[in-house]
Structures are given as structure tokens and as C-alpha cells.
Amino acid sequence: MVGGGRAGAPSLKARALRALSMREHSRAELARKLAPHAESEEQLTALLDALEAERWLSNDRFAQSLVHRRAERFGSARIKAELKSHGLAAEVVEQVIQACEDTEFARAREVWLRRFGLPATDAKERAKQARFLAGRGFSSVVIHRLVSGLDETG
């Protein structure tokens, strides 16, 4: 049987294309998803190489997509860690994260406004707000400027 598997089961390429039609995947992530269905490591590698050659699979496109999906809610540090967890090359990560770092304050301010809306009235509330933003992966410099009430140029 072409594509391996039992009768009626989707081929490995069909599984890959279905996953890629839902959203972008990194090569490592797609390999993890397809590995249980592949007859051999060679079959899986050949399919992934073919998908990259046909431009169905792209780590660069995946990185851009992940940044686009996460930037509204998370800081650069958290996005960078997620990109690295997907097995992307350091050059790809640095390339896409630069734009995130340029908009870090504005994004942190939007997250802060949605969550809190008002400046902290005491040290305990400032600490709570800072912990929330740190958990979202925003930098300490941005958090300090935001929680202390400094404007974007401060």
C-alpha cells in the first residue's frame, strides 16, 4: 500500500497536509506529530524534505506566524522561548524576535490596560502588576516603566 498504514488510513502526506492546512508548523513539530504514523525515519525525512522543497513547510513562515499569534498577549522573552522550544535555528529566532522587541512597551501597555486599567495605588498592587507582566514574558525594563507610570519616552 502506498503511503503505509492500514486500509482506509490517510497517507503520511495527507496527514501532513491536513496539519499544515490548519496552521503553520515547524519541521520539528510536524515530525513529532507524524512519527507514530511513519513506516521509517527515512520515509518521514523524505516527506519533510519534499514538503520544504514544495514550500508547504517553512520554519521561517512558522516563526512569523507564531509571533503574529502571540505578540498581542505575550512579551518577547516568552515568545522567544516558545520559538526555541520548536527547534528553530537561533538565526531564525533572532530575526523574527527583533520586531517584537521594538514594540514591547506598546504591547505590554495594552496587556496591562486590559487586565488592570488603572495605575497601582500602593507597592503591593505594583508588585502584583509587575508579576503578571513578568509571567507574560515582558522585560523588566518595560515592566518598571509601565508599573511606575513612566511614559513611553521615559
Q: DSSP string spanning 76-126?
A: HHHHHHHHHHTT--HHHHHHHHHHHHHTHHHHHHHHHHHHT-S--SSHHHH
Residue 8 has pLDDT above 80, yes or no: no
pLDDT bin (cut points 50, 70, 90) of residue 28 is: very high
Q: What is the Cα–Cα distance from 51 to 34, expressed in whole angstroms?
A: 13
Among 79-83, 106-110, 137-141, 145-149, name the one with the lowest average pLDDT.
145-149
Residue 150 has pLDDT above 60, yes or no: yes
Mean pLDDT across 116-134: 93
The three cell numbers locating residue 64? 512569523
DSSP string, 39-77: S-HHHHHHHHHHHHHTTS--HHHHHHHHHHHHTTTS-HH
The confidence score (pLDDT) of residue 7 equals 60
CB 87 within 8 A of CB 128: no
Q: For residue range 95-104, list pLDDT tens digits in order.
A: 999 888 889 9
Mean pLDDT across 40-67: 96
The confidence score (pLDDT) of residue 88 equals 93
Mean residue pLDDT across the chain? 90
